[in-house]
Structure 1
């Protein structure tokens, strides 16, 4: 679900912002930051991109079906023109 490489990159970016005097603790900070980030992000209600794309396709198909049904209903509700009995 969560891309470990992205978490690694984010943890490295956070570690690189530390002042030079604290660089010695950067490795430990990076490990802890990655752990905290992963823990907090796992609590969020995310869906994968694939699932999002699938649901978007389902929604588009459903919307098209609703529009078609509305058009059919409108056609059924529209009164037919009266035919004359001119024989």
Structure 2
């Protein structure tokens, strides 16, 4: 559990840090074209990574994502159903 959280944070922070370094370097020098391309790729990944990481690595978010996308209805607990019908009769 802790290792998954560490991996998730590390991936997100890597792209965020790489993007910041490239764009800060732009203020000082004109970097090589491959560095600019790397910065653009990191910028795109920086915005896409959290969603992809959470859907692939986080069990709760993945479960809710599947329910939302595939229109899976929650199975109501039988004890909850009994309580709600009992309360509605009162």
Is the TM-score greater than 0.5?
no
Q: Which has the larger radius of gyration?
A: 1
Structure 1 length as normaliser, TM-score? 0.30
Structure with bigger helix share is: 2
